[in-house]
Amino acid sequence: MSPDTLNSLFSLCIGFALAGALANGYQMMAERPAGFGLLQQGVAPKTFAAVPFLVFAAPFIIMRNTLRGTRIERRRFEFVMMATVIAGFWSLMSGTFFLMTLRAAGLLA
């Protein structure tokens, strides 16, 4: 496996792990699951604070909603595959950003 492929795989895994940790931490603190409904609270400081949170927690939320939708609504395979690809790409990008931030801070070699 090439170093670039391994780096991308690591970024993907870190992105999903970060998303899961953020979403589960929010659920533990707020006692309700995180969702995109956090953006529908009007113009308030809480809504602006939700944007960076959702940027990094979105892959977990997308996959959770997709898997629930397959059981409840019997969604088609094509929809599930498309949502998985979107969540994977989003996770790859957020994981890459997170790792670049750690490298810039000197916490990662």
> At a CB cut-off of 8 Å and minimum separation 6, what does 85 contact?
none
> Rg of the chain over CA atoms, in angstroms?
15
Domain interval for residue 43? 3-104
- SS percent in the chain: helix, strand, coil, step 5: 80, 0, 20
Looking at residue 108, what is its pLDDT? 82
CB 58 within 8 A of CB 35: no
The count of domains in the chain is 1
Instruction: For the chain, 109 residues long, give each residue's pLDDT as a single digit of tens.
Output: 898 999 999 999 999 999 999 999 999 999 989 888 888 877 878 788 888 999 999 999 999 999 888 888 888 888 989 999 999 999 999 999 999 999 999 998 7
The residue assigned the tokens 């890459």 is 96
Looking at residue 84, what is its pLDDT? 94
